């Protein structure tokens, strides 16, 4: 760790000690699941979505594996099988328990997982209190960001469970509604050579680095996200039945999957409803359209005579914009509308909904993975996925930044994924 | 209902009232699940195995649908969606909730299902107390036998969950072991014309009827079930690598599935273990081999220069034999050995393990399904399955009889299914 | 071979020498393919249907493997790879070339396969001329019957190819049509104890043996096959949309496969057409319904308040009936109608269409497979299949007999499979 | 068409008239298939590879659909079904015949396809002779390039057929071997802002346009392709067994597919062989490694402490380099080695083997598809694929250029795809 990086850490530490940051994040995970029934902790509603209990255990396993065991050679795990059961995908640690079977593990129980959390937390706190080295701090910091990522997944995976249950149970109390949004307009950006990515100092994932230059042509970005009402026009204009609007893979996919609307949209007797984590509600025209796949985003954009932004167009637009918006801290767990503001400004860059970009998820020039097994964290997934930017209503505000790259496969839509339109030219 | 049948019902009723029989069966279901953690109730470890919670709800749905609603037109269900969620396969009631998604239902909670059970039980008891007609009694009786079937499935489905968990949690306290079994010998039966099936009076499933005649050649049946030790010889003699021992479908199946031993057998450093519901234990050579598929049963029998019995050979051998053995009432939940008895007698006909037969599951001559939607109970499954006979350690003693036909697909092996060898001729 | 068997062989030999029988059968295979284009020889239109070229080669491989190589130790195959490429399923000979890839073999060419045929034929003739032993004769006879079976498959597999080609090319010249059939009536048969199966002497497949006794209740059989017109009534009565008519497996299958009519039925603007090997033609109401699966047969029978016959009911009805009808020798390659005959008699027992029975394909009591690798001929397929009886318009007349058991899976329908209804009772 | 473009066309036309260019290309397709047996024309050895006959018909369909029908309203097709049968993926023309069933079409015969070719050719020549407009010329030119693409596919699809046949038949006469190659070295390129893509004038596919600028960091490219000998070292160093070398998708894929070497490599008793279109031959260590997937390319590069080039690095390196090399005109149909040349220069940029890049196949800034149904030509495939550059031994020399973008999915390897290593920095 160089001086700048250490400096940055110290500045953060002035606000909050490492132990506090660590414990604060750990407690946030428990807060997210506090309202659950025991039964909700174990369900894996589809292969890509894990049970909340698994997330609670895996984020603990991460510390146990990458912090506790390397720094405390005397450590004896109470349950040696957990190393296998809660390994997500780190082949360097051994063959992981099959991802698609996570919902089959009724044991350990929720209480046993909570005990496991407490035991490992004690170990980490002891190490932090014991005068730790930089590498240990680096790993704890990574563990904190790792847990933030899984907190978002707890919300989205839980929504997939509850939102596909015929009873549509509510996770939180409030339903979100919205006033008429700011009129759709495009904001122009001049082209040129830009610096993108994360600097070496401060925390960022390896996939945000190194800083590098990209050349962009002039471009325009929509001032806000596409709304449910606008998306409904696309549906009503037979958007799901016109192959010329879709990528070939997308057209095949909606045919096989039978998709005719975003995830969580329900049509009853001609009326549209949407499942929010507060329950099933009449579709709100003025809220952002969310839970759409990249394929749907592309088809909508083509229909709207626009396109998806690239990840760097988004990042250039976000340069200097304050990170604020509708995040998980609001506990709304649903995107909110954008009303009564200037149409000439860019809104909703952060929070509300992840924004699909047309950029495939790949390594930046000079990209280096983390050393050792932690090198499996990001790099090995750099194929066939697209980058999303900006965070969502299920992202922690402290977790997001302009250089942050999220990534999912084009057909994925159980995340809070939405769409900001883009166009060529300087306007 | 004819006079004989009514008579039979009255005789039973002398021993125990209908309300008592009903409530007794209902309580047995709860007793089976009393030791579970809440987490265990919801897991569906494979498509064919349902969560215990689902069994508890579905057996309630059965009464609600076929007893309460038809006999009480004023009945208002608290949860109308349950009609859809807990329908197993009765198309006459509407399209059922997808079978493979039963493990995705974290709601209703276990407590809500218990409340549902209590509400419907109250309704049934009221109807029974109200001077009920024969058809209602017939349906309640069917419901009782239906629940007994699901009690066995609770045990086997739960075993599949726990027995595939890397922690191998115990469901009950005891591990079963055994002394050296009675020496294997064959008991000869003369051929001839025999009457098989269930008489019209008394309870039996439609698939056991009508009584009819079959002609059998002389045959011999082994005096007991094949043991683990014997089965291990088959494995050690490369039984799983010799295609000439297997049916073509079986050979394909073990190749695709990678089977090299019965379900729940675990090999560690050359030593064999078996998961019993009491936990993982050293393989007991003298216990019956159990959790084998029909394909494995056929291969073993071919290797042993024998064959599977037909269902009627079994039934003829069982004629006049008292129904006794190791049933669910023993709460061992594992087959027991057979030792120190006459080798000239047939042992273990009932209980311990279901015995695969070579008979495909089909309709008896003159077979009639139950009227209406209940006609879907048995008849529509009469293709591609084989009959098993005799009950197992997870079957209630009161549930089994000589004419009882269980049926599963040849590759199925999560039931307590074992093998009794047969040979041609009069010995 | 015992004396009776040898006697039987001699009697046949009086009519036709073994060499002549052998060569006659071989020439029939070539006659069947004489009208093909080279392009038609190689197509495998689905996994279960093999290319004509493969059938021509495999029937040659059979002689090479089971006759030439064992009896001529000096024999050197020109193409050693053929042993692998044209092995169907005999694991005793080595791992066969993957069945689903037979259509990928553009080489050897048709001409090379014809050369292979000629070379092996020369070898067989030399052995037959050289004063052969009984076992060699037994194998040649088996080879002849084996080739007859594949001749039928050449026709049905070719039909699947041409009948699914958008051009609907004709294989033969004539289209079959029919007058109004004999009125549907049931013929009653008394129950009792019957002897079924094939005697030891004379040729029969191992699966027809041994002779044994079965007890049947009285039954009735329809006097003819179900016709297209009758089947169309079932369709128009929403037969494919009523789950209560179907076995559970059948209902699932037609749902997944999207079946709404028999194979080769085509609906254009409300008019029904049927592909015959003579081309696409208006559906003939009076012809037998053919190319239906067992699942469709069961649903139709249930709808018609009837059932499928058992294989033994069919065999008892066929006892003493002369083997005559519409076979492959007629070169019509399509079932014909049954008109102007007595309604009190059983018609169409032989030829026209294989008749689905409700009997699962299993071993007769005392069944023994052929010794050695030839034991794989029949026995290993005795699971999950149903027996069909009577032969079809694509069967050679010399190939069929009362005890003959054909077998296919319940969803199969690319064979000429039809339906004769049955009912209980003596009428 | 603007003046520059017209000018360009005229210049080409000075060398060769449009009719001659058209007919020349058409004859090349026939020359490629002249040595085939009729049986070879129809085989579809896997879903992605089409039969040669289909390619011959589809390239004709392309002219019929996009040239003849629009410009000759009186045109009557002899076989209206061909519009459906030989449509590849143009939904604007109607639902295409299922791609995976192309090998099931024994009709039309090869001769009928040749007749179809001749008829449509006559029509095109008549239109070209009749004083055609610019749009017609544009389409004929596209048709010519389209047919060049399918000529390459004829070679690769045929190789997949023959190279998976146990007889390993030869398509051409010569086997390719090689001397020791030039020593591996890296050539450094300075970073900066570069113009990439195709200019508006002259022929290029829509996906190569528009010209645009990209910023590159300094980079180094290997002076030649990776050889078989080098790739064998990777294998012998357990490259296929070390997950840390692979992308997650790649690791999963080789596990499922069982890959342990490039396509067409065969190991017999420890010796390696490679199928070339001239037959099966001992593996030549000095020839380029070919038929590797992008996943294998990435794993090899990681093992070699290098990476894949981006498509723009390749294009910048190719700027000003003459298009010459080992193309289909050489009729070798296999990559050749590179020996005895300066190690400081870049070799083999063109021909021999397509070079995988790390660039996902996407639209250039300002990308526009062709108008109408032809817009489906390229754009709709811009997801999940990677760009390959430079052409191969199966590409026509006239077909390739510096801006040419080929694209396949990361697991694809039946094309002649190889690898040039890249590294960061200016060396």
Residues of chain A with CATH 1.20.120: 3-163
As a whole-number percent, the residues of chain B with pLDDT over 70 amount to 96
Q: Are B140 and B120 in contact (CB under 8 A)?
A: no
Cα-Cα end-to-end distance for chain C: 44
Give the chain C residue nearest D105 (alpha carbons): C165
Is C in contact with A (3 or more beta carbon pairs below 8 Å)?
A: no
Residues of B in contact with C214 (CB under 8 A): 214-215
pLDDT of residue B1: 40
Is the CA virtual torsion D90, D95, D100, D105 positive or negative?
Answer: negative
pLDDT of residue C288: 98
Q: Does C216 lie at the interface with B, CB-CB under 8 angstroms? A: yes
Q: Does D106 lie at the interface with C, CB-CB under 8 angstroms? A: yes
Whole-number Å distance between alpha carbons of A165 and A167 = 5
Which of B331, B239, B237, B231 is CA-nearest to residue B287? Answer: B231
Q: Does B371 lie at the interface with C, CB-CB under 8 angstroms? A: no
Q: Strands of C271-276's sheet, edge to edge?
A: C265-268, C271-276, C279-282
Strands (E), B223-278: 265-268, 271-276
- Distances from the Cα of B273 to the Cα of B283, B339, C211, D6, angstroms: 4, 22, 46, 81
Residue B359 has pLDDT above 50, yes or no: yes
Residues of B in contact with C410 (CB under 8 A): 383-384
pLDDT of residue B338: 81
Of A193, A307, A366, the CB nearest to D424: A366
Beta bridge partners of D215: D193
Is B in contact with A (3 or more beta carbon pairs below 8 Å)?
A: yes
Question: Comparing A423 with A342, which gets the higher pLDDT?
Answer: A423
Q: Does A100 lie at the interface with D, CB-CB under 8 angstroms? A: no
Q: Does B193 lie at the interface with A, CB-CB under 8 angstroms? A: no
Residues of chain D with CATH 3.90.1580.10: 186-424
pLDDT of residue B275: 98
Looking at the complex, report in whole angstroms how far the Cα of residue C106 sits from the nearest Cα belonging to chain D: 5
Residues 6+ apart with CB under 8 A from B243: B251, C91, C92
CA angle, D379 as apex, D91 and D313 as ends, to 5°? 155
Phi, psi of C411 (to 5 degrees): -85, -5
Neighbours of A53 (CB within 10 A): 29
Q: What secondary structure does DSSP assign to D132-179, as a single string?
A: --HHHHHHHHHHHHHHHHHHHHHHHHHHHHHHTSTT---SSSPPP--P
Whole-number Å distance between alpha carbons of B108 and B117 = 12
As a whole-number percent, the residues of chain A with pLDDT over 90 amount to 92
Q: CB distance A45–B110 less than 8 Å?
A: no
Whole-number Å distance between alpha carbons of C49 and C40 = 13
pLDDT of residue D426: 74
Q: CB distance D161–C106 less than 8 Å?
A: yes
Whole-number Å distance between alpha carbons of C322 and A263 = 66
Q: Is the pTM of this model over 0.90?
A: yes
Pairing of the two strands B417-418 and B354-360: parallel
Q: How confident is the model at residue A310 (pLDDT cuts 50, 70, 90)?
A: very high
The DSSP symbol for A244 reads: G
Kindly report, residue by residue over C333-353, the tens digit of the pLDDT.
999 988 767 889 999 999 999
Neighbours of D210 (CB within 10 A): 15
In this prediction the ipTM stands at 0.94
Q: What secondary structure does DSSP assign to B35-73, as a single string?
A: T--GGGGG---BTTB--HHHHHHHHHHHHIIIIIHHH-T
Residue B308 has pLDDT above 60, yes or no: yes
Residue C1 has pLDDT above 50, yes or no: no
Give the chain C residue nearest D170 (alpha carbons): C107
Residue A177 has pLDDT above 90, yes or no: yes
pLDDT of residue D16: 77
Q: Does C47 lie at the interface with D, CB-CB under 8 angstroms? A: no
Q: Are C325 and C201 in contact (CB under 8 A)?
A: no
Whole-number Å distance between alpha carbons of D73 and D127 = 12
CA-only gyration radius of chain A, Å? 22
The DSSP symbol for A46 reads: B
- Distances from the Cα of D321 to the Cα of D224, D314, D325, D402, angstroms: 14, 11, 11, 8
Q: CB distance A380–D247 less than 8 Å?
A: yes
Alpha helices in D215-310 (DSSP H): 228-236, 248-257, 294-303
Q: What is the mean pLDDT of residues C88-93?
A: 94
Which of B361, B241, B349 is CA-nearest to residue B294? Answer: B361
Per-residue pLDDT of chain D (427 residues; tens, 9 = 90+): 444 455 455 555 555 799 999 999 999 999 999 999 999 999 999 999 999 999 999 999 999 999 999 999 999 999 999 999 999 999 999 999 999 999 999 999 999 999 999 999 999 999 999 877 999 999 999 999 999 999 999 999 999 999 999 999 999 998 999 999 999 999 999 999 999 999 999 999 999 999 999 999 999 999 999 999 999 999 999 999 999 999 999 999 999 999 999 999 999 999 999 999 999 999 999 999 999 999 999 999 999 999 999 999 999 999 999 999 999 999 999 999 887 678 899 999 999 999 999 999 999 999 999 999 999 999 999 999 999 999 999 999 999 999 999 999 999 999 999 999 999 987 5
Q: CB distance A365–D244 less than 8 Å?
A: no
Looking at the complex, report in whole angstroms how far the Cα of residue A43 sits from the nearest Cα belonging to chain B: 6
Q: What secondary structure does DSSP assign to A341-364, as a single string?
A: S-TTS---SSBSSEEEEEEE--PP
Of B38, B165, B166, the CB nearest to A39: B38
State which fold the C186-424 domain adopts: 3.90.1580
Give the chain A residue nearest B157 (alpha carbons): A104
What subunits make at least 3 CB pairs under 8 angstroms with C?
Answer: B, D
Whole-number Å distance between alpha carbons of B42 and A51 = 12
Is the CA virtual torsion C12, C17, C19, C20 positive or negative?
Answer: negative
Task: Give me the residue label for tokens 């469970």.
Answer: A161
Q: Does D52 lie at the interface with C, CB-CB under 8 angstroms? A: no
What subunits make at least 3 CB pairs under 8 angstroms with B?
Answer: A, C
Q: Which 109-128 residues of chain C touch chain D by CB within 8 A?
A: 109-110
Q: Does B49 lie at the interface with A, CB-CB under 8 angstroms? A: no
Whole-number Å distance between alpha carbons of A361 and A387 = 5
Residue A427 has pLDDT above 90, yes or no: no
What's the mean per-residue pLDDT of chain A?
94
Residues 6+ apart with CB under 8 A from A77: A64, A83
Task: Give me the residue label for tokens 């029909």.
Answer: B294
Residue of D79, D98, D107 to mutate for C, most C C-beta atoms under 10 A: D107
How many helical (H) and strand (E) elements, i.e. helices and strands, does chain B have? 11, 12
Phi, psi of C92 (to 5 degrees): -65, -20
Q: Are C83 and C65 in contact (CB under 8 A)?
A: yes
Residues 6+ apart with CB under 8 A from C163: C263, C264, C275, C277
Which of D289, D426, D417 is CA-nearest to residue D357? Answer: D417
Q: Does B249 lie at the interface with C, CB-CB under 8 angstroms? A: yes
Residue A16 has pLDDT above 90, yes or no: no
Kindly report, residue by residue over B61-87, the tens digit of the pLDDT.
999 999 999 999 999 999 999 999 999
Q: CB distance D39–C110 less than 8 Å?
A: yes
pLDDT of residue B426: 74
Of A213, A360, A381, the CB nearest to D248: A381
Phi, psi of A281 (to 5 degrees): -135, 155
Kindly report, residue by residue over B13-67, the tens digit of the pLDDT.
555 799 999 999 999 999 999 999 999 999 999 999 999 999 999 999 999 999 9
Number of residues assigned to chain D: 427
Kindly report, residue by residue over C112-156, the tens digit of the pLDDT.
999 999 999 999 999 999 877 999 999 999 999 999 999 999 999
Whole-number Å distance between alpha carbons of A47 and A55 = 14
What architecture is domain C3-163?
Up-down Bundle (1.20)
Which three-class secondary structure state does DSSP give residue A219? strand
Q: How many CA atoms lie within 13 A of C156 on its CB side?
A: 26
Give the chain B residue nearest A46 (alpha carbons): B104
Q: CB distance B383–C92 less than 8 Å?
A: no
Whole-number Å distance between alpha carbons of A33 and A26 = 12
Q: What is the mean pLDDT of residues A33-58?
A: 97
């Amino acid at each position: 760790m160089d001086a700048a990086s250490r400096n940055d850490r110290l500045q953060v530490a002035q606000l909050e000690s490492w132990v506090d940051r660590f414990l604060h994040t750990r407690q946030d995970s428990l807060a997210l699941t506090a309202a659950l029934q025991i039964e909700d902790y174990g369900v894996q509603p589809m292969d890509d979505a894990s049970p909340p209990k698994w997330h609670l255990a895996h984020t603990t396993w991460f510390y146990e594996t990458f912090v506790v065991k390397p720094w405390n050679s005397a450590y004896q795990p109470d349950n040696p099988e957990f190393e296998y059961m809660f390994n997500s995908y780190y082949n360097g640690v051994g063959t992981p328990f099959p991802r698609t079977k996570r919902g089959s593990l009724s044991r350990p129980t929720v209480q046993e997982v909570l005990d496991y959390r407490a035991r490992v937390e004690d170990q980490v706190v002891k190490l932090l209190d014991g005068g730790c080295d930089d590498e240990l701090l680096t790993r704890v910091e990574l563990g904190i960001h790792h847990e933030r990522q899984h907190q978002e997944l707890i919300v989205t995976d839980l929504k997939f469970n509850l939102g596909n249950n015929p009873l549509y149970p509510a996770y939180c109390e409030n339903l979100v509604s919205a006033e008429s949004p700011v009129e759709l307009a495009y904001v122009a950006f001049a082209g040129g050579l830009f610096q993108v990515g994360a600097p070496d100092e401060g925390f960022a994932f390896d996939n945000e680095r190194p800083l590098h230059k990209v050349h962009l042509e002039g471009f325009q970005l929509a001032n806000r996200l596409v709304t449910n009402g606008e998306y409904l026009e696309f549906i009503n204009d037979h958007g799901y039945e016109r192959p010329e609007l879709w990528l070939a893979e997308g057209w095949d996919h909606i045919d096989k999957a039978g998709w005719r609307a975003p995830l969580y949209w329900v049509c009853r007797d001609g009326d549209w409803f949407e499942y929010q984590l507060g329950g099933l509600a009449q579709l709100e025209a003025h809220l952002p359209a969310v839970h759409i796949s990249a394929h749907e985003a592309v088809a909508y954009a083509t229909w709207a005579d626009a396109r998806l932004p690239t990840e760097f167009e988004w990042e250039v637009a976000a340069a200097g914009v304050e990170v604020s918006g509708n995040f998980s801290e609001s506990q709304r767990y649903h995107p909110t509308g954008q009303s009564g503001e200037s149409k000439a400004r860019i809104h909703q860059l952060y929070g509300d909904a992840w924004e699909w970009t047309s950029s495939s998820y790949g390594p930046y020039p000079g990209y280096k993975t983390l050393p050792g097994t932690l090198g499996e964290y990001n790099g090995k997934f750099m194929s066939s996925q697209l980058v999303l930017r900006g965070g969502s209503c299920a992202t922690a505000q402290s977790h997001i930044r302009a250089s942050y790259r999220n990534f999912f496969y084009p057909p994925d839509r159980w995340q809070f994924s939405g769409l900001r339109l883009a166009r060529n030219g300087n306007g």
